[in-house]
Amino acid sequence: MSTDERIDYTLKINGKPYKVENAFYSENLLHVLRYRLGLTGTKYGCEHGQCGACTVHIDGKAVCSCMELAACAVGCEITTIEGYNNQDGTLNRLQESFVKHAALQCGYCTPGFIMSAAKFIEENPNCTEDQVREGMDGNLCRCTGYNRIIEAIKEAAEVRK
Amino acid sequence: MIIQSPFLAVVESINEALDTKQKRPSSRFISGGTEVIADQNLGLLEPEGYISLRRIKELHTIEPKSDGLYIGAGVVVAQLLDDKAMAQVILLKKAARAFGTRQVRNRATVGGNIASGLPDRTLLPCLLALEATVHLQSAKGKRSLPIKDFLIEPGKTAISKDEILTGTTVPYVKGFQEYYMVGPRNAQFFVTACLALVVDEANKNVRLGLGNAGPTAMRAKEAEEYANNAIDWKKQTVDETIAIKFGEIAAENCSPVSDAAASAAYRRHAIKVMSKRILLRAFERKQ
């Protein structure tokens, strides 16, 4: 690729501006977050919208950062797992619930699950277990299995009520 | 125009998009990115530039009109689930629930799903069964055509290089509407096979759209013809033997492919079984 294919832009991530310089126009947001900005909490999974490990919030919607052109997210509010933690670094209610239920083993899928679940609970505050199962259809876990994750999300949703 | 570089343009109006396309004919329109960027990530696509249509507000409207519900090409699938006006076209709302994952539904657009022209896409069999119209626009003007004439071959549609798909009009049909699919996973963004049934009570006919049962999404014309004659429209009933025959005819007259997801025989069997079930379901409540 020639040099004139590169562009500069500023992304607003977790409330702060991040300058991205000399980036290929075709780079996806996941790549920019991890390898240009060092925000490695967002995980690299399947890169085609199957696993949900790369889930972030853009303008209040949970989306896969792997299928988002980073430059097209200019002007949007982006929240990653780093920005979803409490400001003082402690765990929030949903994260505590994951710990309590041992809803993780290797932990690779967890940031994606947390980001998806956070939006799901927000949009469906009185959810049933079936709704949680359907609502979390965009995230895959290959070690723990899903029951503990569903239980953790269900409990976090109940506490919210 | 929000971004203008030699290879990426983020435009804010249809005219801006068409102008940019004329200046850079090899660039590609993109909106949700759930197909294009996924293909790029997998190395299937070498982009020569993108024109992002996502910020074009006029493409995001869902509007009830006299001839049907107008759905803009930029409407995301999540909107099909949430928008109140979608109660008038219940089939698309049902299909939207079986469409990809939550994250994908927040990004994938109605226009992208139609313009892909691929046989395994969710909305195409539904729009065929509803006899929707597709709207295209170029610098020369606008044109509209029935969805059946829009789909030509796998991945190839009637859209020309200087045209943009602006939306679709879906007629209101009174009667049962349902969508069935089989796939490796509920949240898969392609289906192994799917079908959509629309019962038009006013005109006393059924319309069956098939997905991934041939080179493009298609209507099961032979099965429809059989059912239209066999159904007792006065009593609004269907015998199981009629439903079985309906499924067999639909399966006999489709031409699915064998690929990594399933064999042609499996797809044919799935069409046969789902067609039978969906027809029985359509008339069961009235018995």
Provide, rounded to the nearest whole percent, the portion of chain B with pLDDT above 70: 99
Give the pLDDT confidence score for residue A161 in this predicted structure.
56
Expressed as residue numbers, the domain containing A42 is 3-82
Q: Is residue A87 included in any domain, yes or no? A: no
Test A62 with B47 for CB contact under 8 angstroms. Answer: no
Q: Do B52 and A47 touch (CB under 8 A)?
A: no
Report how far residue B48's alpha carbon sits from residue B11's, in angstroms, rounded to the nearest whole number: 17
Which residues does residue B85 pair with via DSSP β-bridges, in sequence order? none
| Gap from A71 CA to chain B (nearest CA, Å) | 8
Domain identity same for A28 and A68: yes
Q: Are residues A76 and A105 in the same domain?
A: no
Q: Do B103 and A4 touch (CB under 8 A)?
A: no
Identify the domain boundary among A49, A82, A115.
A82
Task: Out of A39, A61, A82, pick the residue that ends a domain.
Answer: A82
pLDDT of A46 over the 90 cut: yes
Residue B12's pLDDT is what? 96
| Topology given in CATH for the domain delimited by B60-170 | 3.30.465
User: Among residues of chain A, what percentage have pLDDT more than 90?
Assistant: 86
**Average of per-residue pLDDT across B217-230:** 97
Residue A69 forms contact with B (CB below 8 Å): yes
Q: CATH second-level architecture of B3-52?
A: 2-Layer Sandwich (3.30)
Q: Are residues A68 and A121 in the same domain?
A: no
Closest CB to B42 among A5, A48, A135: A48
| Residue at A123 is within a domain | yes
Instruction: For chain A, say whether B3 makes contact (Cβ under 8 Å).
Output: yes
Say yes or no: A27 contacts chain B, CB-CB below 8 A: no
- Which of B41, B52, B102 has the CB atom closest to A138's CB atom? B102
Mean pLDDT, range B116-124, rounded to an integer: 95
Q: Is A112 found in the same domain as A153?
A: yes
Among residues A111, A153, A105, A156, the alpha carbon closest in space to that of A130 is found at A153
Residue B6: band (very low, low, confident or very high) from pLDDT cuts 50, 70, 90: confident
Q: Quote the number of domains for chain A.
A: 2
In this prediction, residue A1 carries a pLDDT of: 41
Domain ranges of chain B: 3-52, 60-170, 177-284
Q: Is the pLDDT of residue A2 over 50?
A: no
Co-location of A21 and A64 in the same domain: yes
Co-location of A119 and A155 in the same domain: yes
Residues A8 and A72 in one domain: yes
Confidence of residue B1 (pLDDT cuts 50, 70, 90): confident
Range 75-134 of A in CB contact (< 8 A) with B: 75, 116, 119-120, 134
Residues A16 and A71 in one domain: yes
Domain assignment present for residue A126? The answer is: yes
Report pLDDT for A116: 97
Name the minimum distance, in Å, from the CA of B31 to any CA of chain A.
Answer: 10
Q: Is A46 inside a domain boundary?
A: yes
Residue-wise DSSP of B242-258: HHHHHHHHHHHT--PPP
Whether A55 has its CB under 8 Å from any CB of chain B: the answer is yes
pLDDT tens sequence across B63-112: 999 999 999 999 999 999 999 999 999 999 999 999 999 999 999 999 99
- Nearest Cβ partner for A25 among B5, B33, B107: B5
Residue A39 lies in a domain: yes
pLDDT bin (cut points 50, 70, 90) of residue B3 is confident
Decide if B41 and A138 are in contact by the 8 Å CB cutoff: no
Amino acid identity for residue B77 in this structure: V
Tell me: pLDDT of B286 over 70: no
Q: Does A153 touch chain B (CB under 8 A)?
A: no
3-class SS of residue B132: coil
- Does one domain contain both A76 and A102? no
Do B103 and A52 lie within an 8 Å CB cutoff?
yes
A102/A53 same-domain check: no
Q: Domain B177-284 adopts which CATH fold?
A: Enolase-like; domain 1 (3.30.390)
Pick the more confident residue, B260 or A145: B260
Q: Could you write out the three-class secondary structure of chain A?
A: CCHHHEEEEEEEECCEEEEEEEEECCCEHHHHHHHHCCCCCCCCCCCCCCCCCCEEEECCEEEEHHHCEHHHHCCCEEECHHHHCCCCCCCCHHHHHHHHCCCCCCCCCHHHHHHHHHHHHHHCCCCCHHHHHHHCCCCCCCCCCCHHHHHHHHHHHHHHC
Residue A100 lies in a domain: yes
Round the average pLDDT of chain B to a whole number and report it.
95
Asked if A24 and A72 sit in the same domain, the reply is yes
Map A62-105 to HEC letters.
EEEHHHCEHHHHCCCEEECHHHHCCCCCCCCHHHHHHHHCCCCC
pLDDT score of B230 more than 90? yes
- Residue A159 predicted with pLDDT over 80: no
Q: Do A78 and A98 belong to one domain?
A: no
pLDDT of residue B4: 80
The reply to whether A113 falls in a domain is yes
What was the pLDDT predicted at A126? 82
State yes or no: pLDDT of A156 exceeds 80.
yes
Q: What is the pLDDT of residue B167?
A: 98
Is the fold of B60-170 the same as that of B177-284? no
Question: What is the band of A91 on the pLDDT scale with cuts at 50, 70, 90?
Answer: very high
By C-alpha distance, the chain B residue nearest A31 is: B41
Average pLDDT over residues A12-38: 96
The pLDDT value given to residue B185? 86
**In the prediction, which pLDDT does A4 show?**
59
Identify whether A26 is part of a domain.
yes
Asked if B6 lies within 8 A of A5 by C-beta distance, the reply is: yes
Residue A160's pLDDT is 59
Q: Which of A82, A106, A135 is a domain's end point? A: A82
pLDDT of amino acid A3: 47
Complex confidence, ipTM: 0.94
Strands B164-170 and B133-138: antiparallel
Q: Under an 8 A CB cutoff, do A75 and B187 touch?
A: no
- CA-based nearest distance B248→chain A, Å: 32
Can you read off the two tokens belonging to residue A88? 């003082």
| pLDDT tens-digit series, residues B136-172 | 999 999 999 999 999 999 999 999 999 999 999 999 9
